[in-house]
Structure 1
Amino acid sequence: MMRDMPEAAETFASDPLPSPDTEDAMWALSQRTDGRLIYGVPGETAVLSIDCDISAIPTLRITRNSPADEGAGALLAMVGNGHIGRIKVDATEVGNDSFWVGESPALNEVWEPLAGPRELTLTVPGAGMVSIGPSPMPGLMIEACRAGELLDGAALLEAQEGEDDGADLDASPVS
């Protein structure tokens, strides 16, 4: 007599999320984590962050603050400044939530779309497209990280001249 095995429950990805409204978004230095840049609309949760780890090989980490299904993986695509960069991102637990996080050595050309001063787009499948306005700030961070240094607040303040003060930008949930 042969027993029927119960059918495994089908798993599906969550429904795709709409692209965030980033019309008034800006880059700001995180008030909670040294050397981290955050991008978003002041007074709202940041939609994106980048930080540098110089403890070994200088490495940049990017976090797309958008819900990610447990165990999921994807390619984050950045297009702009004459470059296309793709980086593997995985669903990573941050507190009680899971967000898209990826990292790569700072010298990797994947970061070039962020290094230029013009606007770019960033996309994670199912997490919408983030339109990122022109700013020298991510380029300064990449340059500092490649040199094995954390972003200098004085250099950042100089780059912020002409831009609004990002002090009201809420760095949570990933600050």
Structure 2
Amino acid sequence: MRCSLVPIVLILALAACDRPEAPVGGQRISLDDARGTVEEPLASPDTKDAKWTVAKNGQSIDFGIEGGKPFMSLSCKLKDAPPTIHIIRHVTTRPGEKALFPVIGNGMISRFKVDATLADGEWRWEGAVPAEDGSLEVFTGRRELEATLPGAGSLMIEGSAIPGEFIDWCRKGGAVAKAVEKEEDKAVEEMKAE
């Protein structure tokens, strides 16, 4: 009985096979057309006159030329638990893209994961890290920085105390330093004395 069962199973298996039909009217295409076009990488922007400034909302700092669109921003989200720093590179990108954004300076190299993000009416690169993350120390020194995004050139950032003070402020949950409060109180007292 077993011997007669094997041929029946084989016949059923062969009958279940579907033979593909021969292609009809094949089409030829050029390999150059199939590859598509590749966008040229952007040149590094001229940052000679760029500097860090505190944004109007006080929750972020921008690196750019006064009166123009910023090249890069650091934003603090105090409502996040713990607070986070958003690193934003204002360069056009496309939905779904991801990259590593290395920042070199102050004796270290930090690499931040950034994604294409739609915000404020623009597609840009943005990544977020907890404010306590040690990779942010690259911004806290006063030396020159180089921030390179593949395809978007390098930003040469002159040394400044502003990014370090901003990150420290964010890490403290937006609290104003006691020394600053004392200086303001002293200025008020001096004004009253006059």
TM-score range, shorter chain: 0.7 to 0.9
Aligned to 1:67: 92
Aligned to 2:64: 40
Amino acid of the structure 1 residue aligned with 2:153: G
Q: Any unmatched runs of 5+ in structure 1? A: 159-175
Corresponding position: 1:110 with 2:163: no
Q: Distance in 2 between matches of 1:11 and 1:58?
A: 43
Aligned to 1:53: 77
Which structure has the larger Rg? 2
CA RMSD in angstroms comes to 2.7
User: Among 41, 53, 75, which residue is 1:28 paired with?
Assistant: 53
Higher strand share: 1
Corresponding position: 1:97 with 2:122: yes
Secondary structure of residue in 2 paired with 1:149: coil
Secondary structure of residue in 2 paired with 1:42: coil
After TM superposition, list the pairs within 5 Å mapping 1:113-132 onto structure 2.
113-132=138-157
Change (3 A) 1:22 1:14: same
Amino acid of the structure 1 residue aligned with 2:84: T
CA contact (8 A) 1:35 1:150 kept: no
CA contact (8 A) 1:27 1:137 kept: yes
Higher helix share: 2
17-26 or 33-42, which deviates more: 33-42
Per-residue CA deviation, residues 59-80 of structure 1 (Å, 9 max, x unaligned), is: 1001100111221100000000
Structure 1 outlier segments of 4+, above 4 Å: 9-13
Per-residue CA deviation, residues 104-132 of structure 1 (Å, 9 max, x unaligned), is: 01111111111111111101111110011
Per-residue CA deviation, residues 36-70 of structure 1 (Å, 9 max, x unaligned), is: 10010112211011011121111100110011122
Q: Any unmatched runs of 5+ in structure 2? A: 1-20, 184-194
Aligned to 2:102: 77
TM-score normalised by the chain length of structure 1? 0.77
